[in-house]
Amino acid sequence: MAFATALEKAVNHSLVPSKLAPDLRLYIANNAVELSWSPNNNLLALVDRDKNVLIFNSSNAQQLLNSAILRENVNHYCRKILWSPCGKYLMIKTDSSNRSEGTSHYFFDLSAKRHIFTYKDVYSLSWSDNDRFLLIEQKGTYRLIDLENYHQIT
């Protein structure tokens, strides 16, 4: 219930768009464990209690994506949602309750409306300003990915 109260306070203090659809507000209050606004505040990404990744249009509550990909790792729980600078891509970081399993980072292409790849144990990542490239560091190894074709350059 604390989450619902915090969301209500945020709406009342104009930290979130006031056009947030009432049905979506109720769903968030009852089900969301993590959420994040897109850079332009038009989309809202959330992970619910059932480990679904959901993306909504914040003004009319239209669901744009529903993925159950996080259910594959039953011991994992959502830690962070991160949007790319232009809002074309989304990353969900999960941690495991079993330390030996480490972390997983799930990446979604919002124009294709699908999960595109997963990397484990990412230490850091950085998006290019135009959403074209993604740089990922894993245990001292750097991977540069061209997001137009999901091709790893290095």
| Domains, in order of start, for the chain | 2-122 (2.130.10.10)
pLDDT the model gives residue 5: 57
Q: Specify the amino acid at residue 149.
A: N
Look at 133 and 30; give whichever has higher pLDDT: 133
pLDDT the model gives residue 101: 78
Give the whole-angstrom CA distance, residue 3 versus residue 123: 28
Q: Specify the amino acid at residue 114.
A: R
What element of type H or E holds 135? strand 133-138
Structural tokens at position 8: 């209500």
- % of the chain surpassing 70 pLDDT: 84
Sheet holding 124-127, edge to edge: 124-127, 133-138, 141-146, 151-152
Give the whole-angstrom CA distance, residue 82 versus residue 48: 16
Collect contacts of 113-118 with beta carbons under 8 A, ≥24 apart. 113/64, 113/65, 114/65, 114/67, 115/67, 115/69, 116/150, 117/150, 118/69
